[in-house]
Amino acid sequence: MKKLLLSLIVLLILAGISCQKEPTKAPEDEVKETFLSVYDRFNNEDLSDSLTFNNLKLLYADDFVFLGDKGSIPHDKESILQSWEGLFKNLKPNFEVTIDRLEVSGDLAYILYHYHEVLTNIETNDTVIDVMHSAIMVMKKDADNNWKCSVLKWT
């Protein structure tokens, strides 16, 4: 009888543990984490590798639009990411990013930020680009409840 009672207590404890949910993150924390992961990948992964670059592409919504500076025309996901993929075959990016403002409303969010971007030639290690930019990124949740970059605009 004692063994049965002890087994029942252990079973109830294990059932209680398995029913506990992980605390959910605040939407602002989810957005910030996703946003920073984009730049972490730029900084820390070998984007000249096609498989690695394809994983980066997953952070962008299917209807992603890029708006460059000085009134350049919008670019859709495939055209801009294809040009970035070609760029990163020869250049290693490094971004120092500072978030100035982050707002979330339902399934949409925006991040105002500025960054220092340095692109280095992979073969020669020469600095090719060294610029400061301000930018806005609009993010939205997809059907799987994941935050994706929907719009990127440099200023």
Cα 43 to Cα 23: distance, rounded to the nearest angstrom: 29
Could you read off the pLDDT of 51-91 as tens digits, one per residue?
888 888 899 999 998 887 766 666 778 888 888 888 888 99
The answer, as to whether pTM is greater than 0.85, is: no
CA of residue 115 relative to chain centroid, distance: 15
> Per residue, what are the HEC states of the chain?
CHHHHHHHHHHHHHHHHHHCCCCCCCHHHHHHHHHHHHHHHHHHCCCCCHHHHHHHHCCEEEEEEEECCCCCCCEEHHHHHHHHHHHCCCEEEEEEEEEEEEEEECCEEEEEEEEEEEEEECCCCCEEEEEEEEEEEEEEECCCCCEEEEEEEEC
143 pLDDT more than 70 = yes
Where residue 8 falls among pLDDT bands split at 50, 70, 90?
very low
Say which CATH architecture domain 27-154 belongs to.
Roll (3.10)
Please report, for the chain, the start and end positions of each structural domain, with discontinuous segments joined by +. Answer: 27-154
Mean pLDDT across the stretch 27-47? 93
